[in-house]
Amino acid sequence: MNSEPILSVRKLEKRYGNFIGCTDVSFDVWPGEVIAIVGESGSGKTTLLNCISTRLERSSGEIRYRLRDRRFPDLAELSEAELRFLMRTDWGFVHQNPADGLRMRVSAGANVGERLMAVGDRNYGEIRRRASDWLERVEIAASRIDDMPVSFSGGMRQRLQIARNLVTHPRLIFMDEPTGGLDVSVQARVLDLLRMLVSDLGLSVIIVTHDLGVARLLSQRIIVMKSGRIVEQGLTDRVMDDPSHPYTQLLVASILEN
């Protein structure tokens, strides 16, 4: 195992005026690890995810990321150009609503190929071949490569979004309720696919979800948030089976009753 964390968050805080988005958040992510951030609506988990992925500016604290050349800079030290390059090569972001992460008016193939073209691939046949490979990996028929995402079902759109993110072999994926808008059977299929891809590719994932079932299925470690603070973190199995904080106990109890 690699003993160096890929991402390190220290004392992260985000304020909206006097209102606290999240505060005093510290944790590490190791290569190949899936971390779930759970909590109820308004607990600050999406704010936290957006701060780490630099989609939102933090108020204070430290976020360090291990670059491919092993440097470990704070993301604030990187230039906008470096950050944007990171976002379209080394990172992925899977949105809850696939329409936010896809270009709905260009074909599935172009959606998957966009990142390849963004990093300089200029061979149409090669881009198309890799796009069609990835469509098959996420269980979309290669014959649909020229169809628009608007003609896809919710589950297919979500899988397309995943393929689009993974085509450049990123190392860190952010997911915001990736199965949130899907019905139960489709959800199960997407989760299955995610679990397989994550272990095949050795991805590090930070996944935000309010669904403890999703967290249990995908993650090795879990962070429980309430009112912008981490109330408990630990191995998923330990937290789920033996929650120590009253709020986590409530959360776990309410799930198991379902």
Partner 1 sequence: MTNPSLPAYNFAYLDEQTKRMIRRAILKAIAVPGYQVPFASRDMPMPYGWGTGGVQVTASILGPDDVLKVIDQGADDTTNAVSIRAFFAKVADVATTTRTEDATIIQTRHRIPETPLAHGQIIVYQVPIPEPLRFLEPRETETRVMHALEEYGLVHVKLYEDIAQHGHIATTYAYPVKVEGRYVMDPSPIPKFDNPKMHHSPALQLFGAGREKRIYALPPFTDVVSLDFEDHPFTVQRFDCRCALCDAQDVYMDEVITDDRGGRMFVCSDTDHCETRRSEGCQGAGLPQHCTAKAGWEAAE
Provide, rounded to whole angstroms, the least separation between the CB of residue 47 and partner 1.
23
Residue from 11, 55, 71, 103 in contact with partner 1 (CB under 8 A)? 103
Number of residues binding to partner 1, judged by CB under 8 A: 23
Q: Closest Cα partner for 14 from 55, 53, 35, 44?
A: 44
Whole-angstrom distance, CA of residue 67 vs CA of residue 96:
27
- Residue 123 binding partner 1, by CB under 8 A: yes
Closest CB to partner 1 among residues 81, 184: 81
Give the nearer residue to partner 1 in terms of CB position, either 147 or 211: 147
Q: Cα(47)–Cα(75) distance, rounded to whole angstroms?
A: 17
DSSP-H helix ranges across 53-153:
80-89, 98-101, 108-118, 124-137
Please select the residue that binds partner 1; options are 86, 145, 208, 231, rule is CB under 8 A.
145
- d(CA 193, CA 137) in angstroms, rounded, equals 9
From the list 20-28, 65-73, 119-127, 228-236, the region that binds partner 1 by CB under 8 A is: 119-127
First CA to last CA distance, the chain: 37
What's the Cα-to-Cα distance from 46 to each of 57, 98, 254, rounded to whole Å?
13, 16, 21
- Least Å distance, CB 74 to partner 1, is 21
If one asks whether residue 113 binds partner 1 (CB under 8 A), the answer comes out as yes
110 near partner 1, judged by CB under 8 A: yes
Min separation Cβ 118 and partner 1, Å:
3
CB 124, min distance to partner 1, A? 4
Number of Cα atoms under 13 Å in the Cβ half of residue 217: 16
Q: Does 125 bind partner 1 (CB under 8 A)?
A: yes
Distance CA 203, CA 49 (A): 17
Residue closer to partner 1, measured from CB, 17 or 120? 120
107 counts as binding partner 1 under rule CB under 8 A: yes
What does 186-249 look like in DSSP terms, one character per residue?
Answer: HHHHHHHHHHHHHHHHT-EEEEEES-HHHHHHH-SEEEEEETTEEEEEEEHHHHHHS--SHHHH
Q: Where does residue 19 rank: exposed (0-12), middle (13-18), buried (19+ CB within 10 A)?
A: exposed
**Contact range with partner 1 by CB under 8 A, out of 54-62, 105-113, 236-244, 250-258:** 105-113
Written as six digits, the tokens of 198 are 């994550």
Residue 176 interacting with partner 1 (CB under 8 A): no
Query: Would you count residue 106 as binding partner 1 (CB under 8 A)?
Result: yes
Among 104, 119, 141, 150, binds partner 1 (CB under 8 A): 119
Instruction: Please list every residue from 38 through 97 that binds partner 1, using CB under 8 A.
Output: 80-81, 84
Binding interface with partner 1 (CB under 8 A): 80-81, 84, 103, 106-107, 109-110, 113-115, 117-120, 122-125, 127-128, 145-146
